[in-house]
Amino acid sequence: MVHSSKLKYIAIAICLILFPFSIYAAGLGKLNVISGLGEPLKADIELLSVTAEELSSINATIAPIQAYQDQGLEKPASHNDIKIEVAKNARGMPVLKLRSVQPITDAFLDMLIQVDWSSGRLLREYTVLLDPPGYTGEANTNGQPNAVQSPKVATEKNKETTSAKESVNSEVTTHPVSSATSEIKSSEVKPQKKSKSHPSKSDQPPTTEFATESNSGQEHTTERGDTLSKLAHELKPEGVSLEQMLVGLYQENPQAFDGDNMNRLKVGQIVRVPSQDSLQGISKSVARKEVRVHAANWNAYKNKLAGIVEESAGSEAAVATQSASGKVVTEDKTAAVAKASKDVVKLSAVETPAKTADDKVLKDKVAALQE
């Protein structure tokens, strides 16, 4: 009897020890963005290790401004418009659905998600770089991949904050697409999508999917539909922030971007994945500022294009107006010529009786002389 009581107490103690772990086992996973820049936000966040009982008590919101300040973040007013609800995705997995009514015009979002349930609270920061709707990168005019030189692997990365900024400018090339001579390697990171223009080489080992333990040194040939944020999400290793991955990929592959902007990824470019040490050597604060600068430049570039389109439309309207007025002038000139012709005819008609009268006078004089 005493032995069974001891076993009972031991079992209760084990349950009490394990119970807190079950409470805090819930977590947030990957964020999947569905919407684009200038559209109402549509995104899903995976819920990890959540039981059916916990789902009913979970309440998720954008964290209050005090939580942002505690994390050293600014909370834009647009974040207050984002609503979060617990639901299941198409695969039946529990997710947090992030939705907004108003369009999101900031290309860079730094959100702090707060999740409360019956026995705990969780805060997690998510960084999102929104791409324009339907943006597929800068395509070639001939539709063929550009022949570019593979970027060289840096032997040493300077971990100082100032050097991280300088490296962006020092490594940017003038996009020598036409003068490059080396061929694009046919080995894709995704083996089922092999390059059609270059057959695979027998001496190259088969590459693996992005979801590997270490992506360092891998290469990916950009395709239509690829964006830097998409690649960064797929390639980012543990312990590296999204901003570090964005800046690291940009610094490692400056030739893959048009206009020295990480938002303008070109098609048919070889993108090499930096080492994890190099990525972690980039200051998080510097990376965050760098991404914001590129986002601001991207918005300025879009506004400039919009201005050019409007100016072009105005010029076409002016040309059309001038063409219409030219037709009217032509008709007026024709009428003037026709009027002048009628006047000439009238003058000719007046001269005829005068000439006849003169002839009669001469005839009369001749007749008088003859008599």
Nearest-Å Rg of the Cα atoms of the chain is: 38
Which pLDDT value is given to residue 38? 83
pLDDT in tens, 253-271: 999 999 999 888 999 999 9
pLDDT at 309: 60
Distance CA 259, CA 172 (A): 10
User: Which residue did the predictor score with more confidence, 181 or 322?
Assistant: 322
- Where do the structural domains in the chain lie, given as residue ranges? 2-129, 161-305
pLDDT in tens, 207-254: 334 434 456 678 899 998 788 888 888 888 988 888 899 999 999 999
Range 2-129: architecture per CATH: Sandwich (2.60)
Structure tokens at 266: 């070109």
Cα separation, 143 vs 209, in Å, equals 26
6 versus 190: which is more confidently predicted? 6
Mean pLDDT of all residues belonging to the chain? 68
Distance between CA atoms of residues 25 and 51, nearest Å: 10
Neighbours of 292 (CB within 10 A): 15
Return the structure tokens found at 295.
């986002």
Over residues 299-305, mean pLDDT: 73
Report the percentage of the chain scoring pLDDT > 90.
22
